Chain A
């Protein structure tokens, strides 16, 4: 309910999901009348959508803890409760990230061996990954935990690898730690310690350390870091993307010759946009809980919401939580 485009876009996503994925049932949590109105105007299957009414929601501007305390009947609180009770198998939200993580943390259980649930994000890369030749890599954590210990980083690596195996159909994903050098002893003590432990962890294809330059290249399938570093990296990637777009617009307006050049490249740009379009990936998983939780971008349109639903269903179908537990150090 609290996403940037409001409930109508979320409902359209659920409607698309009901048409495209006949085995998925969407339980839409939020204001009954707003959802009902949007459904009335949208092509959907009424057999695969149900609604759970909640009178309030947490907006993007609200402080998560305060908002959840003041609104126990908010859509995100109720949705997390419904998933915890088994009414639904996974939670997908495009609303306030902090409130969503907090609501889930209060209702879901962390998997044995996991101390903190990281927020993962997919981002476009030069190299392709996995059987589906995904043009995306996974980076985690991107903001759920400000500072992660060596234990946490090891758990993040295992969770990221399990997710890449399930979602990207990458049977043996490469995993690396983000540091300020590729040598094993580079970086803060917790990164060095995590490096030592990951080297000896069976069942994980640990590729050592990577540097910031390797992020857009997609040198590895999964990059592990703490939430502070990951969030800075992610925001920088978004900033670079926006700057490139602005520069292209500037060039388009500045000179006729440049405009002609851009026009000639337009089909290439379109293709590039298609393969790197984050909306096709839907959302980012919050890993480590006993329930599947996908956080869609606040600016998600219907297509991204529908794809987030498909990713969630895939994670549930492949029993992601079990796969993560199998990989964690005993």
Chain B
């Protein structure tokens, strides 16, 4: 055994948890045909959301991070998904996929589509083995229940959700009893902590961002990963040159331009995210020796586009207020209208 092998790696300070379909990968599975096509796609045919791979690579480059991927894709897709991640230059620490064959064989049909009973225990079990001091940033999308599950996970860890409420969530979300028991067991094994700093919801379906205001300012709906990079820079996870590199990749590979990027920046400022210092740091970095930027477009144009968008808003908008999340209310609102009507008739 050589000496370097015996040195323990640094414990992760930051844990980034990613969903795959519609968050990292541009996936369509709303119809049976799309589902089949997605299942049969080869790794090189799968397309990542612009900027997602660049963001992960930049986050990883800090060294003291852990990347955990939890996907609802079936385990049979592991090799294809791993190959795709490798093609994109993404290194991961955990990749958890759903055991849908087992669910099918056991007749657990609700578990095939159910997310709470699948993701929540996986998140808690992963957290149980994480260093106490590590913080977390979570990435999901607006197609399923990511904002709900991630927020519930964060509030469970922080002791802001009682066991009674959790049991009511199990009932409302139709969580199987053994999954519920797993959740309770993992939860109780973790000391109370408050590690979740941000929850990004990629707006794959372009859901109105206001729909997520009930989750409070921790949840940030994003139209693209440049927006996530800006917020993460403000939170101290990325440096300005890293954000610029992500933007460059989006420009070069996905048709983004100065307008779309500066509009994305203004969108966040309008929603009350404090990004003035981020803008200043970006300008400093742009005016530094970053030759790649100058090759794409004259730096003054970029600086002007961003400062103009900021100035166009007049004063700084107020940040969104902190809210206590009403999980049961959210679940009730998400229930199909026909079920609500049936309940009302019963009453």
Which positions in A face B, CB cutoff 8 Å? 19, 25, 32-33, 36, 39-53, 55, 87
Contacts and interface: CB of A to CB of B under 8 A. Distances in A.
Given A32-B313, A36-B271, A45-B223, A50 B266 contact: yes
Nearest to B256: A47
A51 B270 contact: yes
A87 B271 CA distance: 23
B314 A32 contact: yes
Interface residues of B, number: 26
A222 B149 CA distance: 60
A259 B213 CA distance: 48
Contact of A46 (B256, B259, B267, B308): B267
Given A36-B271, A43-B207, A48 B260 contact: yes
Contact of A50 (B208, B256, B312, B314): B312
A50 B207 contact: no
A6 to B, nearest CB: 18
B270 A36 contact: yes
Interface string B244-279: 000000000000100110111011001100000000
Contact of B263 (A25, A42, A53): A25
Contacts of B264: 46-47
B18 to A, nearest CB: 21
B263 A48 contact: yes
A44 B260 contact: no
B206 A50 contact: no
Given A36-B271, A48-B263, A43 B208 contact: yes
Nearest to B318: A33
B209 interface: yes
Contacts of B262: 50
A32 B260 contact: no
A44 B203 CA distance: 10
B313 A51 contact: yes
B209 A50 contact: no
Contacts of A45: 206, 223
B309 interface: yes
A74 to B, nearest CB: 14
B259 A25 contact: yes
B336 interface: no
6 contacts: A39-B270, A40-B271, A41-B210, A44-B208, A45-B223, A53-B312
Given A36-B270, A47-B256, A49-B263, 20 more contacts: A25-B259, A25-B260, A32-B314, A32-B317, A36-B271, A36-B317, A40-B210, A41-B208, A41-B210, A44-B206, A44-B208, A46-B203, A46-B264, A47-B224, A47-B263, A48-B260, A48-B263, A50-B262, A50-B309, A53-B312
Interface of B: 203, 206-210, 213, 223-224, 227, 256, 259-260, 262-264, 266-267, 270-271, 308-309, 312-314, 317
B207 to A, nearest CB: 7
A40 B213 contact: yes
Contacts of A44: 206, 208
Contacts of B314: 32, 53, 55
A48 B223 CA distance: 10
B208 A42 contact: yes
A25 B261 CA distance: 12
B206 A51 contact: no
A263 B309 CA distance: 53
B310 to A, nearest CB: 11
Contact of A40 (B208, B223, B259): B208
Contacts of B259: 25, 48
Given A32-B314, A32-B317, A36-B317, A51 B266 contact: yes
B131 to A, nearest CB: 35
Contacts of A36: 270-271, 317
Nearest to A47: B260
Contacts of B224: 47
Contacts of A52: 312
A51 B312 contact: yes
Contacts of A47: 223-224, 256, 260, 263-264, 267
A49 B270 CA distance: 11
A106 B240 CA distance: 43
A41 B262 CA distance: 21
> Top 10 A-B pairs ranked by shortest CB distance?
A40-B210, A46-B267, A53-B314, A47-B260, A46-B223, A52-B312, A50-B263, A41-B210, A36-B270, A43-B206
Contacts of A51: 266, 270, 312-313
Nearest to B226: A47
Contacts of A42: 208
A47 B251 CA distance: 13
Contacts of B270: 32, 36, 39, 51
A53 to B, nearest CB: 4
Nearest to A15: B208
Contacts of B208: 39-44
Nearest to A40: B210
A296 to B, nearest CB: 22
Given A25-B263, A36-B271, A45-B223, A53 B210 contact: no
Contacts of B309: 50
Nearest to B261: A47
Contacts of B223: 45-47
B34 to A, nearest CB: 20
B258 to A, nearest CB: 11
Contacts of B227: 46
A40 B213 CA distance: 9
A19 B262 CA distance: 18
Contacts of A49: 263, 267
Contacts of B206: 19, 43-45
A25 B264 CA distance: 12
